[in-house]
Chains A and B, each alone.
Chain A
Amino acid sequence: QSVLTQPPSASATPGQRVTISCSGSSPNIGSNTVNWYQQLPGTAPKLLIYSDDRRPSGVPDRFSGSKSGPSASLAISGLQSEDEADYYCSSWDDSLSGPVFGGGTKVTVL
């Protein structure tokens, strides 16, 4: 069981918006920033969002992150076929003294 809780799947048609939730608790999301990773099939995870809502250079502004209390969200607007991937949230956990991950959400473009 992952420390952070994500829905296993999400889907939408091209051009629509999809939102992925990530639920944690006070030692992790409640006290630390959240990062999001995108993993395309057969590849390593790629940093998508860091420090709750910041995008690394090269990540389209269709991807946005937010956080409220012990929960966070990733939104993908204007969904495109190349966005089909697994998405993982992550945060430092003060009790475990290391980063923890969600179980991942598979996004399908219908």
Chain B
Amino acid sequence: QVQLHQSGPGLLKPSQTLSLTCAISGDRVSSNSLTWNWIRQSPSRGLEWLGRTYRTAQWYTEYAVSVKGRITISPDTSNNQFSLHLGSVTPEDTAVYYCAGGLGSLRFWGPGTEVSVSS
């Protein structure tokens, strides 16, 4: 059974970079069976997919239009995890951030990290 464990700071100031990590157990980030995603949830924006990384014959990374240019999702094969970096945060980026794994659907979810952006 795949389990996901999230880590990273929960309090940021505007203009800083949000960095979160999702450690995977029960599968490999480099396997070609699942995609590895970041999703956030806030009262104002609901559930919002941010992007994903996955490997078939090569690595792919795809991002939501709403955050493109500010976001990087990277696999870390050495530590079997993947990360989210979101730059130039504003209070609008305050949300609960989830990592999730799946293929076609999001079958496995991390517990979530509450992130607050405030001066």
A residues apposed to B, CB below 8 Å: 2, 33, 35, 37, 43-47, 50-51, 56, 88, 90, 92, 96-104
Contacts and interface: CB of A to CB of B under 8 A. Distances in A.
A5 B62 CA distance: 25
B65 A96 contact: yes
Interface of B: 46-49, 51, 62, 64-65, 98, 102, 104-107, 109-112
Contacts of B49: 98-101
B106 A35 contact: yes
Nearest to B107: A47
Contact of A98 (B62, B104, B107, B112): B62
Contacts of B104: 33, 35, 50-51, 92
Contacts of A99: 49, 106
Given A96-B64, A97-B62, A98-B64, A45 B47 contact: yes
